[in-house]
Structure 1
Amino acid sequence: MSIPFDNSYARLPDRFYSKLNPTPVQAPQVFALNESLAAELSIDLSAIRPADVFSGNGLPANSEPLAQAYAGHQFGGWNPQLGDGRAILLGEVIGQDGIRRDIQLKGSGPTPYSRNGDGRAWLGPVLREYVVSEAMHAMGIPTTRALAAVTTGQPVIRERPLPGAVLTRVAQSHIRVGTFQFFAARQDVDALRQLTDHVIDRHYPTAETPLDLLHQVIARQAELIAKWMSVGFIHGVMNTDNCQVAGETIDYGPCAFMDEYHPMRVFSSIDHYGRYAYAKQPDIAAWNLAQFATALLPLMPDRDAAIEEFTEAVNGFAPIFAGHWQSLFLQKIGITNAQDDDVQMVHDLLDLMMQQEADFTNTFRGLMTDTASHQFTDAAAFETWARPWRDRIKSEPDAEQVMRQNNPAIIPRNHRIEQMIQAAVNGDQEPFNRLMAALADPFNDNDTELTKPPSSEEVVQQTFCGT
């Protein structure tokens, strides 16, 4: 079996990781296989046994399986050692686009970083990440991707026995802010310098200094979070170990998309105080980036001067984010040539949506079909907002096309995800297939049933990480 691996991370010193093989499973079967992504990665599926390779039962030639070490702040609390507790990096491939990417098995068994966990995943979170990450990709949001989901034929014990599964995740890398924190906390300046050089070479080749790297990571994170906000996405667990320095969305645990709009919406069952609520995501991203800056400080010859420069860089996150947010939300209401009062018009709409519990996705999508008022209990109040907006977009000749390109018709709604998972547990793959087909083209109304918000009985109040 062969995958064209070229494993740069495995060539770093051995204190960056622990080398070990995945733990075999009893009866692997492919549940889903992303054949188009495999082709993009130059992986010939006919040359491997996907059920074996993507479960960890068979290792391709040139793979160098390892679990990465990292630390992190979790809900603001410091943990000096985390690491891949249930994931193993098989290796790296260079795709048809020339970009190097990791291929990682998630749920592949215990590692030295498991902290008494079983190292496994059950089918529900595997399918949630598969569906949501591929939906994010289709919406043009930087993200890790799903190459395969394989059932293991053996149970995973959570509150009760559940069917086990392994997700094959593809990412530009799995290097996190917490990876830098791991070495900074140990005062291992040599490893910190090697990690910095590796990240610059791999992700930011125009950066020449740690300060350059910081600026470029900040820029990518600012754009990423703005894109999350523009589709009503809530990550749910924005710890520093879930903040990937390449600028992709990573670790789809208790994530969710809003139905009714509220800026303080929280779904994560473990976010008891709303630290990672929808509207707090920009502030948390800036906080995470401040931890990244702090981890880079040991590389700087003049610490005091570096603190001043790094602080200025982190403070620059807010205006960069605001620029992306304003551009994206103006496009959601059909405006590309901004005027002075346009941003206030967006805020006024969001305030009205919050007051009347309007559906986030369907309100914005309805602007181009004149059905947005259906989302409001007081349609007259919406019309009061809409009249000047309609006059405003008369000077935007491409307004409808712009709205169509920036307002998805179909998102992975929470109740549909839960229904899909329950069906899959019961042996029915049709809801998964239906979701994947519709979400592959999210800006078209290709399955109107999937655009509907949940009924009162279908509302999902909490989402779970699955560990």
Structure 2
Amino acid sequence: MQNAPITVSRYADLPGRMWSHTAPTPVAAPRLLAANDALAAELGLPPGWLRGDEALQILAGNLVPEGTLPIAQAYAGHQFGGWSPQLGDGRAVLLGEAAGRDIVLKGAGRTPWSRGGDGRAWLGPVLREYLVSEAMHALGIPTTRALAAVATGETVLRERPLPGAVLTRVARSHVRVGTYEYLASRNDTDGLAALTDHVIARLHPQAGDAWGLLDAVIDAQARLIAGWMGLGFIHGVMNTDNMAVSGETIDYGPCAFMDAYHPDTVFSSIDRFGRYAYAAQPTVAVWNLAQFASALLPLMGGEAGIPRATEMVNSFPARFGDAWLGVFRAKLGLVTPDPGDADLIQTLLGTMAAQGADFTLTFRGLTDGTARAGFADPAPFDAWAARWSDRREADPVNPAVIPRNHHVEAAIAAAVDGDLSFFDALLAAVTRPFQDDPVFAAPPRPGEEVTATFCGT
């Protein structure tokens, strides 16, 4: 391959015990389903290359770019609080880098860490991640991106036979908290030091050392999760192997955006006790960051570093609180901070929860004057709006369109039947989230609600 500038991943410069040379498994009959031409341009890929046959063969896993070294990464993690000492890329292959960003094929076949699985993905999770990650990018949230989706022409066996697909995912990095846990659990201090040097050089050059890296990751996660909260987004599976040290949203499995607002909302079918509910996400972040700090301790003085590391992790709530206030002030059009802002925001959220008001449409209604109509009993909203009018200084900034669950599921169902037109229309809408759209801005009608989401593995 001579045209597409995909180079060997810098991750392959790290010790070989942290990764495995793993080529993607070829597929029978690849077919391009979606291509992100704008992202391709950002990556320096030639115009039109993404839609050519060479690209199709590479993105399906049938052709390895010349001069690259495809690898699968090792990591561990805490999953719903339980320790898993060896996870790793069970169905993802890191092809290499373009413009300094990882190019990964997700659903590319078995790896040394597939743990008995087939290493494949079916069409539904691939299209869900494509839609939601591109929507998040358009909404200004740090995230992995979708470069392409390819049908494999093969069947994947889950609860029933389903069409297979491969997602090409782009990220600043795929290093996770679980990557650090993998090395720390093996007392691999040399590996931790090498990984930390790699992460600092690539992601957080201002950090300087492990202490600075811990501080940078805490700050990045505080801002990221505040952004989630401002959109009513629920990640659904905030395991430590799904927290990227880059501060990007990663691994869109059972994720969802709320329709009716309630802080205890859960969508993930495997989150039976609400560990990763909407309102629990900041608390879970603290728990995950504590695991990150623990893994870094060998580079921070061992046991002697525990008090300082604990103090730093415990700074997360304040940092998150500041970021959360910033996000919601913008949603209300508040420019000058005021001590009463937190109460003003919480009063609105409490009123929304009490009446099941739609999260996205309520805040969008503050922008266009229609918010009152979303409350069956408008009196509490009117009382709040009187307070708000005294504080409002600018136009609120709120999206009209999010990838609502019922639309995502409808797009997947149509695609399984061979019709991508609804997916294409939904993708166009969610990547223009601040434009009104009478179809895709609408909440589900009675009977259309989707209340459970699935990992899709």
Preserved contact between residue 106 and residue 166 of structure 2 (Cα < 8 Å): yes
Tell me the residue number matched to 2:94: 89
Give distance in 2, aligned partners of 1:319 and 1:388: 26
Indicate the SS of the match to 2:196: helix
Tell me the residue number matched to 1:50: 55
Tell me the residue number matched to 2:71: 66
Give distance in 1, aligned partners of 2:97 and 2:342: 43
Give distance in 1, aligned partners of 2:303 and 2:298: 11
* Cα displacement string for residues 84-113 of structure 1 (whole angstroms, at most 9, x for unaligned residues): 00000000122xxxxx21000000001110
- What code does the residue aligned with 1:368 have? T
- What code does the residue aligned with 2:131 have? V
Preserved contact between residue 35 and residue 147 of structure 2 (Cα < 8 Å): yes
Counterpart pick for 1:410 among 362, 378, 401: 401
Tell me the residue number matched to 2:133: 133
User: Any gaps of 5 or more consecutive residues in structure 1?
Assistant: 95-99
* Cα displacement string for residues 210-242 of structure 1 (whole angstroms, at most 9, x for unaligned residues): 111100010000000000000000000000000
Tell me the residue number matched to 2:306: 307
Tell me the residue number matched to 2:439: 449
Cα shift at 1:392: 2.4
Tell me the residue number matched to 2:324: 325
Indicate the SS of the match to 1:168: strand
Counterpart pick for 2:16 among 8, 11, 14: 14
TM-score (norm 1): 0.95
- What code does the residue aligned with 1:456 have? P
* Cα displacement string for residues 62-87 of structure 1 (whole angstroms, at most 9, x for unaligned residues): 22111000000000000000000000
Indicate the SS of the match to 2:440: helix
The correspondence of residues 18-29 of structure 1 with structure 2, limited to 5 A, is 18-29=20-31
Preserved contact between residue 82 and residue 113 of structure 1 (Cα < 8 Å): yes
* Cα displacement string for residues 193-224 of structure 1 (whole angstroms, at most 9, x for unaligned residues): 10011101111111122111100010000000
Give distance in 1, aligned partners of 2:338 and 2:200: 38
Preserved contact between residue 18 and residue 112 of structure 1 (Cα < 8 Å): yes
TM-score (norm 2): 0.97
How many residue pairs match? The answer is 452
Give distance in 2, aligned partners of 1:169 and 1:243: 16
Give distance in 2, aligned partners of 1:163 and 1:327: 43
Indicate the SS of the match to 1:368: helix
Give distance in 2, aligned partners of 1:91 and 1:6: 5
Tell me the residue number matched to 1:270: 270
The correspondence of residues 108-119 of structure 1 with structure 2, limited to 5 A, is 108-119=108-119
Tell me the residue number matched to 1:221: 221
Counterpart pick for 2:453 among 425, 440, 463: 463
The correspondence of residues 44-443 of structure 1 with structure 2, limited to 5 A, is 44=46, 45-46=48-49, 49-94=54-99, 100-300=100-300, 302-393=301-392, 396=393, 399-400=394-395, 403=396, 406-443=397-434
Preserved contact between residue 48 and residue 60 of structure 1 (Cα < 8 Å): no
User: Any gaps of 5 or more consecutive residues in structure 2?
Assistant: none
Preserved contact between residue 30 and residue 50 of structure 1 (Cα < 8 Å): no
- What code does the residue aligned with 2:377 have? D
Tell me the residue number matched to 1:97: none
Indicate the SS of the match to 1:321: helix
Preserved contact between residue 18 and residue 68 of structure 1 (Cα < 8 Å): yes
- What code does the residue aligned with 1:361 have? T
- What code does the residue aligned with 2:317 have? A
Give distance in 2, aligned partners of 1:57 and 1:114: 19
Counterpart pick for 1:33 among 19, 32, 35: 35
Give distance in 2, aligned partners of 1:22 and 1:266: 35
- What code does the residue aligned with 1:54 have? L
* Cα displacement string for residues 123-154 of structure 1 (whole angstroms, at most 9, x for unaligned residues): 00000000000000001100000000000001
- What code does the residue aligned with 2:385 have? A
Give distance in 2, aligned partners of 1:360 and 1:181: 36
Judged with a 3 Å threshold, the aligned counterparts in structure 2 of structure 1 residues 182 and 333 are, in CA distance, closer, same or farther, namely same
Indicate the SS of the match to 2:173: coil
Give distance in 2, aligned partners of 1:387 and 1:187: 59
Indicate the SS of the match to 2:368: coil
Cα shift at 1:48: 6.2
Task: Compute the RMSD of aligned alpha carbons.
Answer: 1.1
Give distance in 2, aligned partners of 1:286 and 1:216: 14
* Cα displacement string for residues 296-346 of structure 1 (whole angstroms, at most 9, x for unaligned residues): 01123x323311111111011110000000111111111011222122111
